[in-house]
Amino acid sequence: MEKAHKRLIEAAKKDIYLVHKKEIFNYYKTTNENGMPFGGTLFSPFEIILLCSGEYYIKASPLLFDEVVTFLTTNEYSLFSDDDINKFLNSINGILNKLNWNIDSRSYNYSTVYALENLESLNISKILNTTVEITAPTDYTNISGSYNVADGSNTYFCTVLNDKIVSICGYSYIGFESVDIGTATNESYRQKGYATSNVVSMAKYILEKEKGVLYSCRHTNDISQKIALSAGFAPAANRYILYCTV
């Protein structure tokens, strides 16, 4: 899991403090007082990652820093159940109101991050002959529900039926040691093995570039978790992000 864990903290390592065995070894407050911007009015003032090795990595806006540390130290750093999340949001509700920060609905879930770092673990047998590699832009009509294949130059692995992309797997960026990928399938074409086939094909494509692969999904998304496990991924971490709007 070394590549996966490095990727999970690599992009934000300047903003992170490490918590391990309930002790803060090193910390940095984010230079942007609101936190991590996502564009528009959406931003994230707090994020916590629990690696499967037992280490916690945390980012927090300085405006929430004390409240976050107080909650975590009094709750044994537990933030990976629905009850824990609700307890946390209730504990910081007062400061959020003072800041006029509104909790976005995405804040009520945490994600499980899966990782794959070698071809030997990949379930190649799951690749179907309906999966094709395409490079954007393409003339196929995309009805999968995600990714813009009409622009850009990214590579995708898709299930194409009657000139329509019914299922697709893409990646966010490919510059780090491990690459984040995602998948989407039109509701009418689910549970046919298409998504798993596309995910395995994309993972193979990335692994052959000597990079690891990450796959994230909400902890309540049983179907997406089954796709990851069926493809050969293993759990690497849990991640919780507080999303706010102003």
Flag whether pLDDT at 177 surpasses 80. no
pLDDT in tens, 14-63: 444 433 332 332 232 333 444 444 555 778 888 888 888 777 777 788 78
Confidence of residue 7 (pLDDT cuts 50, 70, 90): low
d(CA 132, CA 129): 8
User: Residue 67 pairs with which residues in a beta bridge?
Assistant: none
Q: What three-state secondary structure class fits 87? A: helix
d(CA 231, CA 234): 9
d(CA 197, CA 131): 7
Q: For the chain, give every domain's residue range.
A: 2-114+241-245, 116-235
Inter-residue contact 18 to 56 (CB < 8 Å): yes
Token output for 6: 């490095």
Flag whether pLDDT at 222 surpasses 70. yes
Flag whether pLDDT at 165 surpasses 60. yes
pLDDT in tens, 53-94: 777 777 788 788 888 888 888 887 778 889 999 999 999 999
d(CA 105, CA 89): 11
The CATH number of domain 116-235, selected from 3.40.1350.10, 3.40.630.30, 3.40.50.150, 3.30.1520.10: 3.40.630.30
